[in-house]
Every structure is written in C-alpha cells, then in structure tokens.
Structure 1
Amino acid sequence: MTNDHDGVRELLAAWAVGALPPGDDRTVPLHLAGCESCATEAERLRHTVRLLDGGPSDGRPPASALNGSADGALAMALRSRGPRTPGVAPHAAPYAAAVAGLQALIPELDGRWGTPVVHDWDAHATVAHLIAADEHLAVALGVASRLPASHIPDGTSAGDAWDRRTADVIAHEHTRTPEETVATWAAQAAALLATPEARDTELAARAITVMDLRLPIADHFVIRAFEAWIHTDDIGRALGLPVPPPPDEHLDQLVRLAVRILGLALHDAPPVLFEVTGPTDSSWVLGSGDDPVIAELTLDPVDFCLLVGGRYAPAEVPRGETGDAGAVRNVLRTAAALSWL
C-alpha cells in the first residue's frame, strides 16, 4: 500500500486505467485529493485513456458487455478502436486496441491464473512476459522501468538478453499476485501510449534499435500490437474462449510490416508471388528481383500473422499454392523462423 508522493506518482498510470493494486485503490485517491501536481498528471493520463477507450474514463469495458460472453466483450474492445482513434496516431492504434483486448479478457482469468498457456508459461507468466517485452520500447522512449533491473553481462546477444529479462521478470512477478502483475502491465502500457511518439507521426518516424532490430518507432508500436494480440489469443485458446482478430485496418498494418521484414529475409531467394486475401487483398513478389516468379502462395491474413507469430508450423498453415513447391516451402519456413514470441 502506497501513500508517499513518489510512490503515488509511479502508480498514476495504473490509476488511469483502473488497475491499482489492492489497498492502493484507496490511498491513491486520498493523495490526489490533497496534491495538485499529482492530480493534474493523473487527469492528463486519464484523459489519454478516455480518448483511447471511447468509453468509461476508468479504461474498462462497460459492465453490460462483461455480463455477456467473453467473446462479446473482446469483440467490442478490439473492434471499437478505429485507426483514427482520437489522441493516438494510426501507428499506435493497433497497440491500444490489443491492450484493450487483453484487459477485456483479464476478468475471465479469475481463479485460473495457473492455466498453462504457451511455452512453459501459465497465464500469470504470460502477462509478466508482456511487461518484459513492452519494456524494451517503453524504456527507449523514456518510460521508467517498473521492475528490478536484470544483471546481464556485457556482450550478451540480444536474443539471450531478451530471454534472460523475460525469465527475471516472470520470476519476480510470481512473487506477486496476478492483480499486481496486471496493474504493472496496464500502467506501463498506458505510459507507453501517453508518450509523444504514440501521438505524433513525425516523432514516430525516427528509427531506433530495440532488441537488435532497427526500425522507425511507428513500426515498433506495430510489433508491440502484434505480440499483445498473439498472447491474448494464446490465453483465450487456453481458456477455451475465442479471441477475435484485430480490426481490418489494424490487421493490415500487422500484415504489411511482417511482409516487409519477410521480404528482407528473402531478398535473394527464388521469387514467389505472395498474396494475402481478405480485407488486405494485397500481393507482393518475395525474393530476387532479377529472376522470374516460379511459384504463387496465398494465405489468409490471420493465418499469415499466426505463422509469423510461431503459432502454425509451416507445413500446417492453410494455404493455396501453385508452381515450385520448394520455393513455397522456403517462404513458409522463413516466415515461421521470424517468430520470437
């Protein structure tokens, strides 16, 4: 339970999204009543959440939605955010929607936090992993880390450092309650969405390196959206609850970024005409530009994202294909190899 000034300021983002840990939900409002500077910052953060949410100011879905099916609540949370959500730039809108989707699913985990989800993680560890995953971008944009630092030796590869930080965060969060872990994740997400780079496309055009991947900040926000949605889907599957895909325009952003990265990995491969059907309905030639296309591959956008996210084996993803089977297999295997989730 926190009532000191600095401690309360660290909890303001959690307050803005209605995710304060037990006890602090009483002391923080009392502090805000007597501290003008904290109250001003709290209202700024809550205004950000209100604009992102398009609903109640506490950042939660309406109670009427949660009284229905989980699918209905998730669909509302994910589909109600258009790419032009006030207060956030289009590149950050998919992340805002993915955060809202997981928040809508959280109540379904009551009493089920030990459910195995993915890898060797239960639901609690999966949310803890998202804290570690989002932290890399958050810290790069000036958001202070909310967790103890990891002791990672100099010269550690980016992949090993990623794994070590995730393991440390999961171990730390397993000493806390799931409610405290959710509060930390939600507060960090709200702070990330309140950064200037989440609101300004020009600022987000600046390239930064996050986990050895140098991309515009806007693309890093899309990657955060991708991972948040994938793990929300993981949790939904573990609970036996359907999680709807991102809205069409958000899904298009995920697909296009994944295709760009896949194209770089296949720059000198035998060229394949790759088509993503559905609302995106786009096609690209992946591979060498000096040779004729020798095969065609067609995927559904959600299936493509699940393949890139490591949730489909290359041979198992539903697809249409013609031409050179080896060239198609190369595209599918390269796409699956991109996964770090």
Structure 2
Amino acid sequence: MNGPFDGGRNGGRGAEEPDDVRGIPRIPGQRSAADDLDPPATDVLRRAVENNARAARAAEQSREREVPDEPDTTDETDRADETDEADEAAGLDSGAGAGAGADMAPGTPPEPAHPPEPAGERDMTGGRDPYGPPPPRPPTGPVGPPPSHSVLKSLLGAWALAACSPEETTHVEDHLTECAPCADEALKLRDAVGLLQADRNLDLPPLLRSRVLENCLDRRAARIPVPVWATPYDAETARLDALLRDFGDAEWHAPLQLKWFEKEEQAARRATVAGVIGHLMTVDGLVASALGLDDPLGDPSALSPTDRTEAFWRAAHPPPTRTIREPWRDQSHTLIRTVSFAGRGVAELSVSYGEFALPLRDAMIDRAFECWIHGVDIAEAVDYPYPAPSGPHLHVMIDLAAQLIPSALAARRRAGLASPARQLVVPGSPGRSLHLEVEGAGGGNWYIALDSPAAVGTAERAVAQVALDGVEFCQLVAGHISPEEAAAGQDGDREAIRDVLFAAASLSRL
C-alpha cells in the first residue's frame, strides 16, 4: 500500500526503502501552468487563489504595522544624493539652474538643453552601453523573514498553478520540507491542476458506472437490489441516455439505417434517431404489458416487434423529435423499479413476442442487447464512438443468443432453409454439436445442438468448430453483417457451420 504522502504517484515508495526514509513527506514539484492547462479555466482559478493570497498577505502586513517603527532618515539623505548625481549626469549644477531661471519670465517653461530625439532614434537601453555586460539581476532569494504558516498555506493554490512570485515560491517550497500537512495538501492541489488539461478525453469509461455502484453497494447494501438479470438493461439504457442527453435538433433528425436478416438476405429500413428511440419504447412495451404496466402503443393487438414499430411510425405525425426521450427514459426506469420490487418469482413470467415468447429474465437481456445495438446505430449516425458493454454483460447477451440458436435452426429446417437432421436424438441426450468459441471480453465456449433443440450439445459429439470475436458475433446475431461476411475461423463439417451461422443471423429482427 502506498504511503499517505506519496499516493502511489511518481513510482511511489517501494518496500526496498529503509525504514528511516518512510514517513517523510514527498515534496511535489511545481507544475508549469502555461504548458498543460486550459487557459480560461486556469485564469479563473489563478485569479481566485491570488486574491486569497493577497488578502492573507494584507492581513499579515496589517498585524506587522501595529508595532511602531523608529523613524528612518536615511531615505531622505539617499534621495538627496541621488538627485545630485542625476544633476551632475545631466551637466547641471545648482548655480547654473538658478541663473537660467532668473533670465526667464515667470510662467515660461525652460528650454531643453538638447532638442528631443525622434521616437524612432531614441535610446531604448536607458543610457547603458548596448555592447557592455548586462546589468546584474536582482536577487531571487528570500528577502526578510518567511511569512507565517497561515499565509504560506493560502499560497499553496497559487504555487500549484505556478502563479507565485520567485520569493513566494522559495518560501513555499522551503515550508513544504518542514510541514507534512502542507506537503500533502500541495500534492493534492498539484494533481487537481492536472485535471484542467484541455486535451483530456471527456468520455467516461464504460465501466465507471459499474465500479461506482459496486463500491457504493460494498459500503451499504441496497434495500431493494436490482436483479442480476436486469442489470444489463439498466446499464445499457443509462449509457444510451447519456449519449442522447446533449443532442440538438439536427442530431435527433439524423438519418440512419436499421438492418436485420430475413431468410437468405439482409433487409434495411431508413429511420431517424428519434424514430429509433420510439422503436425501442414500443418494443419495451411488450415487457411493460407482461408486468401489468401501461402500454405506450395503446394497441394490444399488435404483438410482434415489427408490427408495433410500424404502427408507431404510422401514427407519429409529425415525425418524433427530442420529446420522445423523456417517455422512453421514464418507461425504462419504471421497468427496472417494477422488476426490483416484484421479487424472485417474476423472473419466469412469460413475455410474448407474437410468434414466440421468452421468460422475463431473458426478455430483459434481449432488450439490453437491442438497446446496445441501436445505440451503436445512433452513434454512427452522428459520428460518435460507442464502446461495447462490459464483459459480464456482454457474456450474458452472447449466452442468450447461443441458447436460442438451436430453436432458430429447427425453424429454418422446417421452412426448408437448412439441411435436414442427420440423427434422431432422444430429448435430453447428447447429439451432434458445433463448438462455438467466442473470443474477447465476454467470450467463452458453447456447444450448439445441431439435430434437435431438445438435444444436449457436448464436446464429445462436436463435428465442427467456429471461432468469432464477441462483438462480431453480436453483430451477426443483430443482422448487421451477413453470415458470409463474418470473419470466422472454421473447422469441420461445412454444412453444419453454414446452418449455425445463418441460424444466428435469423435471430435478428426490426
């Protein structure tokens, strides 16, 4: 563990240092404010700390003036000597000045001894030989006793911004070698100055929200926790909402294409960013209806996601605008609160998608998956980066798709779009399998049953293997890339590989 003064920065203090070195506060080096700070923010902060430091110095000086000082007559003598020397340098003495003044009428200005030089020929060196040695620099060391502790402490902010005078900088740095609390405070202020850099990426890391929630829940458990199977939906709706929060009117009407896979070819539909959010809201309404909540579409006869989306777009005249964000976000919050308060038994509640149904726990993962995929569509439409979900959330999405592939393969086989089954398999027994290896964050190994959805895929009965990146596999499942375009490592039965890749693509829909 790093010490209290080092904070693990600049290499920290390792275990190899002797005992007599540990515990000594590390003196932070002063930063250069002109190189790595945002000028507007730095100027505001610098003015604030300078005003505080100026007020502290004024208070210190007022206390010093309370002690009477003896009159000092040396200043007047020095000024008289300097005046005489200046007169001699100008070629004048007291007698000449008196005589000249006696000949002039009252109120007449004295004539200069030499005419003024033109502005362009003036000597800018102050009478100094330009080829001679430079004048000595004034001393930069501390002059007089150092200020009090309170004054030096008030100068720490200005010192961190490189706004102190040389004398103040020397006093502060000398004080930091003796005062451990001030050294620790100076180190924190210097690191805070680093946050004002203008070239820092403003996008938050995708795992920041999860880490913050995890740390909070470690300190105090939630009274009503969100179910584990609902956390991907909670995270993805929050991420998409963060992207939409600062959109202007132009971004909300930005055109994009929704892609999915139908039978043997890819389909597409033009939409806008606001239209996609309306699509997400209407399909989320299937989950809301299953929970007994209000259906945003208001038409319970439209059960399939495609029918619901088409009905919403037809009724949306004029086209949806940024006003769609608030009802969509309110609906997602309501869904999360409802499943959190409902308890454990709600996970198996059936959610109908028209042609098929899913348990509520799988339906929430499916909604998180679609929220992420359409978040990528929206980000690409406005030229903004949108990272993949966290590894654990991506894993549960891939796992759900792998579980649905055998049923999708059986449906394609009934429609004559896939090769017939090779073997008859008793439900629950091992059958021919395909080894699906998904690489990257959230990846793993799955064994897909080839001959029957009721069969069990096993490594011993594997006849083929496919290797895919995790994000690329999700793009295939979403219908954003065709099975032929999927850059997959393939080995084994080519017919089984083709059937599984096309069955994965057939899971997509509008």
For the criterion TM > 0.5, the same-fold answer is: yes
2:299 corresponding residue in structure 1: 149
Equivalent positions of 1:175-190 (< 5 A) are 175=318, 178-190=321-333
Shift of residue 227 of structure 1? 0.9
The letter for the 1-side match of 2:230 is A
1:102 corresponding residue in structure 2: 240
The correspondence for 1:72, drawn from 204, 214, 221, is 204
Measured in 1, the distance between the counterparts of 2:277 and 2:200 equals 24
The correspondence for 1:302, drawn from 471, 490, 498, is 471
> Is it true that 1:213 corresponds to 2:345 in the alignment?
no
Q: Are 1:229 and 1:246, in contact at CA under 8 Å, matched by a contact in 2?
A: yes
Q: TM-score, with normalisation over the residues of structure 2?
A: 0.48
Shift of residue 266 of structure 1? 3.6
1:123 corresponding residue in structure 2: 273
Q: Are 1:307 and 1:313, in contact at CA under 8 Å, matched by a contact in 2?
A: yes
Q: Could you give the per-residue CA deviations for residues 176-216 of structure 1, whole angstroms, max 9, x where no partner exists?
A: 65232111111111111111367633321333433333222
Equivalent positions of 1:130-279 (< 5 A) are 130-149=280-299, 159=304, 162-175=305-318, 178-196=321-339, 200-266=343-409, 268=421, 271-279=433-441
Give the unaligned 5+ runs of structure 2. 1-195, 258-268, 411-420, 423-431
Q: State the SS of the aligned residue for 1:109.
A: coil
1:35 corresponding residue in structure 2: none
Question: Quick one: structure 1 residues 209 and 228, their matched pair in 2 at CA, closer, same or farther if it must change by over 3 Å?
Answer: same
Measured in 1, the distance between the counterparts of 2:210 and 2:485 equals 27
Measured in 2, the distance between the counterparts of 1:178 and 1:77 equals 28
Measured in 1, the distance between the counterparts of 2:210 and 2:383 equals 18
Q: Are 1:192 and 1:198, in contact at CA under 8 Å, matched by a contact in 2?
A: no
Question: Quick one: structure 1 residues 244 and 174, their matched pair in 2 at CA, closer, same or farther if it must change by over 3 Å?
Answer: farther
Measured in 1, the distance between the counterparts of 2:208 and 2:289 equals 30
Question: Quick one: structure 1 residues 242 and 229, their matched pair in 2 at CA, closer, same or farther if it must change by over 3 Å?
Answer: same
Give the unaligned 5+ runs of structure 1. 1-63, 153-157
Q: Could you give the per-residue CA deviations for residues 81-115 of structure 1, whole angstroms, max 9, x where no partner exists?
A: 66x89431101000001100110110353122221
The letter for the 2-side match of 1:244 is P
The correspondence for 1:317, drawn from 471, 486, 494, is 486
The structure with higher relative contact order (CA 8 Å, sep 6+) is 1
Identity of aligned residues (%): 29
Segment of structure 1 superposing worse, 321-330 or 184-193: 321-330
The letter for the 2-side match of 1:124 is A
Measured in 2, the distance between the counterparts of 1:304 and 1:80 equals 29
Aligned residues: 268
The letter for the 1-side match of 2:477 is V
Question: Quick one: structure 1 residues 150 and 199, their matched pair in 2 at CA, closer, same or farther if it must change by over 3 Å?
Answer: closer
The correspondence for 1:90, drawn from 225, 228, 245, is 228
Q: Are 1:137 and 1:210, in contact at CA under 8 Å, matched by a contact in 2?
A: no
> Is it true that 1:285 corresponds to 2:447 in the alignment?
yes
Q: Are 1:77 and 1:101, in contact at CA under 8 Å, matched by a contact in 2?
A: no
Shift of residue 150 of structure 1? 7.2
The letter for the 2-side match of 1:305 is C
Shift of residue 79 of structure 1? 7.3
**Structural RMSD (CA):** 3.0
Q: State the SS of the aligned residue for 1:329.
A: helix
Segment of structure 1 superposing worse, 120-129 or 106-115: 106-115
Shift of residue 333 of structure 1? 0.9
Shift of residue 245 of structure 1? 0.9
Measured in 2, the distance between the counterparts of 1:199 and 1:80 equals 25
Shift of residue 73 of structure 1? 6.8
> Is it true that 1:112 corresponds to 2:248 in the alignment?
no
The letter for the 2-side match of 1:164 is D
The letter for the 1-side match of 2:277 is V
Shift of residue 293 of structure 1? 2.6
Q: Are 2:434 and 2:463, in contact at CA under 8 Å, matched by a contact in 1?
A: yes
The letter for the 1-side match of 2:271 is W
Question: Quick one: structure 1 residues 126 and 258, their matched pair in 2 at CA, closer, same or farther if it must change by over 3 Å?
Answer: same
1:4 corresponding residue in structure 2: none
The letter for the 2-side match of 1:332 is L
Q: Which structure has the greater CA radius of gyration?
A: 2
Segment of structure 1 superposing worse, 199-208 or 118-127: 199-208
Q: State the SS of the aligned residue for 2:294.
A: coil
Q: State the SS of the aligned residue for 2:318.
A: coil
